[in-house]
Structure 1
Amino acid sequence: MKRIAFISEHASPLAVLGGIDAGGQNVYVGELARQLAQKGYAVDIFTRRENKDYPRCLRWMQGIRIIHIDAGPPEQVEKERILPYMAAFRDDMLRFIREEKMDYQLIHANFFMSALVAMELKSILHIPYVVTFHALGHIRRLFQGDQDRFPPERVAIEEQTMAAADAIIAECPQDREDLLTHYNALAEKIAVIPCGVTPEEFFPIDKQLSRILLRLPQDERILLQLGRVVPRKGIDNVIQALAKLGSGQHKTRLIVVGGDAHPTQHNHEAQRLRMLAKELGVAARICFVGHKNRDELKYYYSAADLFITTPWYEPFGITPLEAMACGTPVIGANVGGIKYSVVDDVTGKLIPPKDPEALAGAINQLLANPEKREAMGEAAVNRIRKLFTWQQVAGRMHKLYETVLAHQDSRTIKAAI
């Protein structure tokens, strides 16, 4: 049995999805680990302790443990403020490995801070590592500018960990291009392996039934926005587009899933979006329903006529996959992973980000053509099942691990000779 260590310092599979720092990476780590365990791997997921009552070692499911590492206060800390605690993370993880006499064959780091720990453990224990960055500091800075609150040394850490990594996982072709162009990463180290979706979790459900279960009106056109309520997700773009829809679309409702249904003063983005909706005269046509459990999401995706996601940038984006798996066409920003997963005019529409006019035009076009939407929905389900299931992702990851370990073995043999 191959034993591997996942490091995901701020994104535990146990985290509540839809919060400020919880989202796609949490899903990625949990689902990939689950599929690898089914392939016979023993997976330990190392993540920072966010609650003093969490056990040190938790058996999450067959073949998977979650190890809580003491690094900084045992409470939730914004990921932008975690870097100073990563030396303590490394030391406590090293302590666990030595005390438990663990023999990991490979480390899979997630995010740049986890990669920093993996690089240092490789130096100490000679364990090879692969890394999925999930987002790149240089790209984030290009789009967010002064709003980027990560420490300035992030980019240097990414460069160092790329150089030391045995393999780098790009989640889409744009991610690979960014690694090559902005970081001069070695092309032979990069493997493009996308995120996925679980067909048993996300699948088409009758639209009328979904709306009955969610108590949504049957006679309205429903647009869905689902994900973290943060500025870069472009929810304001969707609200602005709603205000620009033609007069025939006044029975169109936007449902926003994510964040809190009743935002507090600490959630400035949610407050800003509500104020914007009020100013544009569409507040009555928008429902902020807050966080929903994952087992509820398939009903929202299936109830919607269109799923909309128009972020400024998106390293990959799992929600378009989930919507497509439920047979709902996606109108997405032509950026990052979205332009890889969504096929323009086949499974949805690709439009420029920050362009409410273009978004309103795409919404009008598709709402006026139910036959087109139905064909897109069928094409979307087929595309997901062909290319984007977690089982397929884990299969490709397994091959990458095998390649890395084979190269490691050959280096060991040469060193011994």
Structure 2
Amino acid sequence: MLDSIRIAFLSEHASPLSLLGGVDAGGQNVYVDEVSRNLGTLGHTVDVFTRRDNPDVPDIVQWSPGVRIVHIAAGPPEFIPKDDVWPLMPAFRDGIAAFMLRNARTYDVIHSNFWMSGWVAAQLKPLLRVPVIHIFHAMGLTKRRHQGSSDTSPGERMTVEREVIARVDALIAQCPAEEHELIDDYAAEAGKVALIPSAVNVDTYRPIQQAEARHALGINPDVPLVVYVGRMLPRKDVRNVIRAVALMVEREDVPVELLLVGGESAEPDPVLTPEIGVLRSLARDLGIPDRVRFTGKRQPDVLCYYYSAADVVVTTPWYEPFGLTPLEAMACGRPVVG
């Protein structure tokens, strides 16, 4: 085992705390949570630096053994969509530096997450004189390629990504496609890129007997059930899934039902999650409103019931840097179509 080291995680918009109900929580939150927890279990010390987006949370939260979440003031202490956070990064950088100085805190390595925290890490590297390991979670060029004019990323994003790639010491790619993006689209040195696939917690995502899962959720034990779990965004293309279900009903006369698990609130709310309104309208237009059920957001500790209730889990996004939900479904013993 390696000697115990101190690690600074930088994750400006994706805090493990957001797993408990925050808006805009996704795979990056899960990654930061699981990797930091497991590093703590191995005896390392981890401070996760994230932007304060709630005035009521403590400056420092003891998250798990060896892991703290450190909230840095950068802009108003409220939720801000991640694409609007970029102008606050100088304040985020300065707040992290001030925390380290004030607490005489040193680190052996920085692990930055997403392009904005990558910029902050590259800025702090000369000051701290420690190596930086960076993971993007999603690349700007790929997002622009698939979303076109609907991409809301800041215009500087791709330039900053190239700067980060040039200045950090190592890059993590979560799948071969991302490795190719880094090398082919951004001219990253191949020797600088480590391919490390993400994984899932098999204690959290575990098989449950389908009958037991359906009974717990109040689902008809006999109905053919398709399940989607994830964010409700246009790029996730849940609309495609609804169209497919409508075709199954119309052409194959299959009495299938679709369970959609996700959203920005525990109850499905088209105001907080506009895509839910779009999907409801689509289901109504296709004549299957009674076959599409929305649950709202669910926490990781109960998702295994939703996965296990399915006959098949489906995910058909326009693009995905690394999809955790297919792995979660497979860990629960369910087939995946994607």
Q: TM-score band, normalised by the shorter chain? A: over 0.9
* Corresponding residue for residue 76 of structure 1: 79
**Alpha carbons 1:304, 1:328 under 8 Å: kept:** yes
Q: Distance in 1 between matches of 2:7 and 2:38?
A: 13
* Alignment partner of 1:151 is 2:154: yes
- For 2:70, what is the secondary structure of its paired residue? strand
- For 1:15, what is the secondary structure of its paired residue? helix
Shift, 1:240, TM fit: 0.4
Q: Distance in 2 between matches of 1:249 and 1:219?
A: 15
Q: Distance in 1 between matches of 2:288 and 2:45?
A: 51
* Alignment partner of 1:89 is 2:89: no
Instruction: Number of aligned residue pairs: give it.
Output: 332
Q: Distance in 2 between matches of 1:3 and 1:193?
A: 21
* Alignment partner of 1:253 is 2:257: yes
Shift, 1:267, TM fit: 3.0
In the alignment, which of 168, 172, 179 is matched to residue 169 of structure 1?
Answer: 172
Larger proportion of helix = 1
- For 2:185, what is the secondary structure of its paired residue? helix
Q: Distance in 2 between matches of 1:137 and 1:262?
A: 30
Shift, 1:53, TM fit: 1.3
* Corresponding residue for residue 243 of structure 2: 240
Q: Distance in 1 between matches of 2:90 and 2:28?
A: 22
* Corresponding residue for residue 196 of structure 2: 193
> Displaced runs of 4+ in structure 1, greater than 6 A?
none
Shift, 1:265, TM fit: 3.1
**Alpha carbons 2:40, 2:46 under 8 Å: kept:** yes
- Give the TM-score taking structure 1 as reference length: 0.78
In the alignment, which of 325, 330, 335 is matched to residue 329 of structure 1?
Answer: 335
Q: Distance in 2 between matches of 1:64 and 1:302?
A: 31
* Alignment partner of 1:204 is 2:210: no
**Alpha carbons 1:5, 1:46 under 8 Å: kept:** yes
Q: Distance in 1 between matches of 2:322 and 2:268?
A: 28
Shift, 1:163, TM fit: 0.4
Q: Distance in 1 between matches of 2:302 and 2:327?
A: 16
**Alpha carbons 2:8, 2:46 under 8 Å: kept:** yes
Q: Distance in 2 between matches of 1:81 and 1:119?
A: 20
- Paired residue type of 2:102: E
Q: Distance in 2 between matches of 1:19 and 1:281?
A: 33
Shift, 1:295, TM fit: 1.1
- Give the TM-score taking structure 2 as reference length: 0.96
Q: Distance in 2 between matches of 1:115 and 1:30?
A: 18
Shift, 1:270, TM fit: 1.3
Deviation string for 1:304-329 (max 9, x for gaps)? 00000000000001111100000000
Q: Distance in 2 between matches of 1:19 and 1:100?
A: 29
Deviation string for 1:244-303 (max 9, x for gaps)? 115555321100000144324353211111101100011110001111121110000001
